[in-house]
Amino acid sequence: MSGTLTVVGLGPGDPRYLTPEADTALASAQALYGYGPYLDRVAVRAGQSRHPSDNREEYARAAAALDHAARGGKVAIVSGGDPGVFAMAAAVCEAIETGPAAWRALDVAVVPGITAMLAVAARIGAPLGHDFCAVSLSDNLKPWELIERRLDAAASAGFVIALYNPVSRARPWQFSNALSRLRRHLPPSTPLVFGHAVGRPDEHVELTTLEAADGKNTDMATLVIVGSRETRVISRSGRPPLVYTQRAAEVSA
Amino acid sequence: MSGTLTVVGLGPGDPRYLTPEADTALASAQALYGYGPYLDRVAVRAGQSRHPSDNREEYARAAAALDHAARGGKVAIVSGGDPGVFAMAAAVCEAIETGPAAWRALDVAVVPGITAMLAVAARIGAPLGHDFCAVSLSDNLKPWELIERRLDAAASAGFVIALYNPVSRARPWQFSNALSRLRRHLPPSTPLVFGHAVGRPDEHVELTTLEAADGKNTDMATLVIVGSRETRVISRSGRPPLVYTQRAAEVSA
């Protein structure tokens, strides 16, 4: 049994974010698995088979890739951003834990990538410059009540919050509910950064406030960063503003 | 005034983590600024000046680099990991906000990198596979009381927690105090991952539990990941264990 499975982070989209480690892992694979649009980002190489699948089929995709590796293949499964952040690496581990014993014997590796919140933060300054958290607003696998509890805890303790998966066609109301929840804890002037498709041709970054945000232009390709009381906006004439979170903080925050 | 300042994330150390975007930014700079050991990782190129500085001099380093750029230079300031996560990008923004008006007119960019928690998580599976937060244990710029409040909030709301800067020579007791604080909220069996110098030749990853952890081998090059109630350990015969956080969670968590 010499099969291997590597879970590869592609970063935000453009090849300029693809690490040499990820590029090497992709080049040496015999078979590539992944959500179709992510797989489309990977250069076509002779002798590699490609196995695209639909979104929201993470477990089935992981199982298919593990099965392929267990038959001796050198398999890569691709993930947008970082595979360990709301992406494929956890699904692969879950499949290994619950699947056939042969899957535990496989050589499994994860190759990290630039996750969306780092790319969005870099575009506008340093909004994640101090303690922060990442919350997925998808309630497909956890109850909405738990998401609200986490937003309460994070906002009231002064964390900057990166919101992944803010909305989808099947989850239309979650993001505006999250904004209402955050307004209980944070001042109306709190900076919000909306990063849409960062690292791709249709990239768009918008700065607004908790008071003004409505999320009308938010979709699955959007990552939202909610500031804390230490997050500041620097206006610059003729240049876009910079947003950053101060390194110093007080208990009153 | 045609000066530029780019804050470049080098990732965890090894060149295999350096993105093409970061490599391009380094190659095109006329002057490189940074903490000495980080600057030592950057290839020497003809015609570039190098300006190493000591640790804990972030503001002075940022000011020197901005001043150089304001005199028309094409300047890069390097950062380990991602510059936006407990690193140089916030210090640069702070200097721009408080410094001379000319600094606001500069073309400033941030190039993201693989931050330590992503590299450590990738080594052992997917411990950041669900909602998580990042907390710096350094109380140089914020009171310890605030750090405790954030640990309380994160642990009791079910976040996985990545601890940056767990100890230093000047901060010997903070990490064991943090462990005591976390034990109020989390079961003794909670998995803890210690990632030391990940991505560098002396890399070492250790899996333990909240009960057994003592932090004796922890230093400034260590990143600690504290699991949640959904974090699981998969034992594998002849291979290191995998650690991951389940995507599904319950309110009772």
Contact list in B for residue A237 (CB cut-off 8 A) is 104-105
Contact list in B for residue A86 (CB cut-off 8 A) is 129-130
What is the per-residue pLDDT for A172? 85
pTM: 0.97
Q: What is the pLDDT of residues B182-232, one digit of tens each?
A: 999 999 999 999 999 998 999 999 999 999 998 888 888 999 999 999 999
Structural contact between residues A122 and A129, judged by C-beta atoms closer than 8 angstroms: no
- Per-residue pLDDT 10s for chain A (253 aa) are 579 999 999 999 899 999 999 999 999 999 999 999 999 999 999 999 999 998 778 999 999 999 999 999 999 999 999 999 999 999 999 999 999 999 999 999 999 999 999 999 999 999 999 999 999 999 988 999 999 999 999 999 999 999 999 998 888 889 999 999 999 999 999 999 999 999 899 999 999 999 999 888 888 899 999 999 999 999 999 999 999 999 888 775 4
Whether pLDDT at B1 is above 70: no
**In chain B, pLDDT over 90 holds for what percent of residues?**
86
Judged by a CB distance cut-off of 8 A, whether residue A107 touches chain B is: yes
What is the per-residue pLDDT for A253? 43
Question: DSSP readout, A8-66?
Answer: EE-BTSSGGG--HHHHHHHHT-SEEEEEHHHHTTSPP-TT-EEEEE-TT-HHHHHHHHH
Rounded to the nearest angstrom, the minimum Cα separation between B129 and chain A is 5
Interface subset of A 159-188, CB within 8 angstroms of B: 159
Question: What is the ipTM score, two decimals?
Answer: 0.97
Residues 6+ apart with CB under 8 A from A99: A63, A66
* Contact assignment for B90 to A126 by CB distance below 8 Å: yes
Judged by a CB distance cut-off of 8 A, whether residue B131 touches chain A is: yes
What is the per-residue pLDDT for A1? 53
What is the per-residue pLDDT for A136? 96
d(CA A226, CA A243): 11
Contact list in B for residue A153 (CB cut-off 8 A) is 153-154, 156-157, 159
What is the per-residue pLDDT for A129? 95
Mutate to test the interface with B, among A140, A200, A242, A243 (most CBs of B within 10 A): A242
* Contact assignment for B146 to A154 by CB distance below 8 Å: no
* Average pLDDT for B67-89: 97
**In chain B, pLDDT over 70 holds for what percent of residues?**
98
What would the two tokens of residue B97 be?
Answer: 């906000």
What is the per-residue pLDDT for A193? 98
Q: What is the pLDDT of residues A229-251, one digit of tens each?
A: 999 999 999 999 999 999 888 77
* Contact assignment for B83 to A126 by CB distance below 8 Å: yes
Judged by a CB distance cut-off of 8 A, whether residue B249 touches chain A is: yes
Q: Are strands B125-126 and B239-245 parallel, antiparallel or unpaired?
A: parallel
Q: What is the pLDDT of residues A44-75, one digit of tens each?
A: 999 999 999 987 789 999 999 999 999 999 99
* Contact assignment for A142 to B249 by CB distance below 8 Å: yes
Q: What is the pLDDT of residues B132-168, one digit of tens each?
A: 999 999 998 899 999 999 999 999 999 999 999 999 8
* Average pLDDT for B88-93: 97
Name the residue in chain A with its Cα closest to that of B137. Answer: A131
Rounded to the nearest angstrom, the minimum Cα separation between A15 and chain B is 8
Contact list in B for residue A122 (CB cut-off 8 A) is 9, 82-84, 89, 109-112
What is the per-residue pLDDT for A216? 83
What is the per-residue pLDDT for B215? 80
The pLDDT-based confidence of B170 (bands split at 50, 70, 90) is confident
Rounded to the nearest angstrom, the minimum Cα separation between A228 and chain B is 13
What is the per-residue pLDDT for B2? 77
Whether pLDDT at B100 is above 60: yes
